[in-house]
Amino acid sequence: MAVYTEVSFDEAADFFNSLSLGPLQSLRACAGGIENTNYFADTDSGSYVLTLFERLTFEQLPFYLHLMKHLAERGIAVPDPAPDQGGNILHCLKGKPAAVVNKLRGASELLPGAAHCASVGESLARMHLAGRDFAMQQPNLRGIAWWNSVLPAVLPHVTPEQRSLLMSELAYQNHIGASSAYTALPVGVIHADLFRDNVMFEAGQLSGFFDFYFAGRDTFLFDIGVCLNDWCIDLPTGQHDAARAVAFLAAYQAVRPLSMQERALLPAMARAGALRFWISRLWDFYLPREAAILKAHDPGHFERVLRERVAHPALLLAAIHPKPVTMPSAKPVSRANSSSLKLNT
């Protein structure tokens, strides 16, 4: 939970009136998220989420907001940004970029079963297809270039064993990213953060998903790996849950079948997703920004997930097809070599 910029009731009331959303009835800080300042707001016209963006700039934000508008217009259950009288969906509040979107119905399912995972897999595939004609371009800002740039800042805070794993895994991902198999993967707009707390269910049915502020252009397979690492694992141990993974992947492929390259690289992209969130959680934990309310996530969770994905790659392959697949190999990175690996800064 984070509130970096405090907004008073009167300030929010004036802001909602400027958007013709009706008199403000209530305002409360959201109990989730660590990137932006978020408030739930109720007005005479409905329930909304007010977001003040703390890292993203006025120049970056049109991509995310117009993506949500694009997907909503194509029948994907996502928040729809509210325009002002001039039709603008990016606003300014207390000197910060701001947006207001409708609050989705339902609640997050934090103990999902196979049916929940199937709904998420289907919806993710539909989102990937619906975004193919989205004209705006932006890379995944938390992709491999970001991992390379941020890792040096967090290495002083980890143990020698963790340092070895972080650096060897980054070397592996750099190797995979330079391979011809990787460059053949289908790409498009991805959510990149579709965790359990970013999806809503109502009466057992998926009612929508939100928090698109890590979205960007990347491989669809990376998005799948991120989801598998949250929806289809045992949270305390990070261990793979076969039934949920099979349900997720079957539902996804019923809408958008995976290519042979995607099937072969699925274990590598699950590792990539675990590395990305381990690095970002280390960064938030050891190098936090000042906030009125802030609770950083446990970095150790994605260390456990990464170790499980490295140790058991065949489990994901078994979830998508019965026959063995030859995985791309990387040159082994010795402990001595990994400690002197040059990182991009």
Partner residues linked to 219 by β-bridges: 187
- Tell whether the model's pLDDT for residue 223 goes beyond 80: yes
Q: How far is CA 253 from CA 221, 307, 321, in A?
A: 12, 27, 12
147-193: per-residue pLDDT in tens? 999 999 999 999 999 999 999 999 999 999 999 999 999 999 999 99
284-339: per-residue pLDDT in tens? 999 886 544 456 688 999 999 999 999 999 999 999 874 444 555 544 444 444 33
243-278: per-residue pLDDT in tens? 999 999 999 999 999 999 999 999 999 999 999 999
- Tell whether the model's pLDDT for residue 127 goes beyond 70: yes
pLDDT of residue 314: 95
Domains of the chain plus CATH, in order, are 2-102 (3.30.200.20), 114-339 (3.90.1200.10)
pLDDT of residue 340: 36
Burial class (CB in 10 A: 0-12, 13-18, 19+), 170: buried
Instruction: Return the percentage of the chain with pLDDT > 70, whole number.
Output: 89
pTM score: 0.86
Instruction: Please give the mean pLDDT across all residues of the chain.
Output: 90
Between CA 77 and CA 212 the distance in angstroms is 12
11-32: per-residue pLDDT in tens? 999 999 999 998 999 999 886 6
Between CA 304 and CA 173 the distance in angstroms is 18
Between CA 79 and CA 68 the distance in angstroms is 7
Predicted confidence band at 217 (pLDDT cuts at 50, 70, 90)? very high
28-51: per-residue pLDDT in tens? 988 666 678 999 999 999 999 999
59-108: per-residue pLDDT in tens? 999 999 999 999 999 999 999 999 999 999 999 999 999 999 999 999 99
pLDDT of residue 56: 87
- Tell whether the model's pLDDT for residue 343 goes beyond 50: no
pLDDT of residue 330: 47
